[in-house]
Structure 1
Amino acid sequence: MPITKIFKNGNSQAVRIPADLAFDRNDMEVEIERVGDELRIRPVSRKLDRVLEKFGAFSDDFMADGRDDNQQAERDGL
């Protein structure tokens, strides 16, 4: 398990994340939570504010033939 140090950045504490544990991007927000003696850092969940824009990018014939794999399998009775 990598070891790092806490340091002061203005009025806040900061921690340097080692390269092998770093997130892929630097332009993301993270949330931090204290659980006992642990601090958990994770990316903020994506918002749905652009979901309609993304759906609008599908072609007009997207799934025109439906979903063939949506058939229910026969099941034994209880």
Structure 2
Amino acid sequence: MTTKQDPPTRPTARVGWNNRTQVVTMPLEFRFPEAVREVYIRKEGESVILTPRPSDWSGFFAAGLKVSADFMAERLPLQERKF
């Protein structure tokens, strides 16, 4: 005897409107921290992806990114100017 199992449920969000703005109400586990005031938004196929916009550059500088040795090797020469 087999029993029919319910498919696993996926978290969902509610989509609505506030005046002429579309609003998405997310479950608590998906909400951004209160400090996040803006997000970057992009589409990948039919998916919409939200990424917190950093409020400062500290994360960028902490990443320790370095440019390659030949960075700007093919740049215009410096112009001599008289002041």
Structure-2-length-normalised TM-score: 0.49
RMSD: 1.9
Matched with 1:15 is 24
Rg larger in structure: 2
> Which of 41, 47, 61 is matched with 2:56 structurally?
47
Amino acid in structure 2 at the alignment position of 1:12: T
Q: Distance in 1 between matches of 2:35 and 2:56?
A: 18
Secondary structure in 1 aligned to 2:29? helix
Task: Evaluate the alpha carbon distance shift between residue 27 and residue 41 of structure 1 in structure 2; reply closer, same or farther with a 3 A threshold.
Answer: closer
Secondary structure, aligned partner of 1:45 = coil
Give 5+ residue unaligned stretches, structure 2: 1-9, 59-83
Instruction: Write 1 or 2 for the structure with the bigger share of helix.
Output: 1
Letter in 2 for 1:34: K
* Identity value in percent: 22
The residue that corresponds to 2:37 in the other structure is 28
Q: Which runs of 4+ in 1 moved over 4 A?
A: none
Cα distance in 1, alignment partners of residues 56 and 22 from structure 2: 28
Kindly tell me: are residues 19 and 8 of structure 1, through their superposed partners in 2, closer, same or farther at Cα, counting changes over 3 Å? same
- Which residue is equivalent to 1:2? 11
Distance 1:45 1:24 in 2: 12
- Which residue is 2:71 aligned to? none
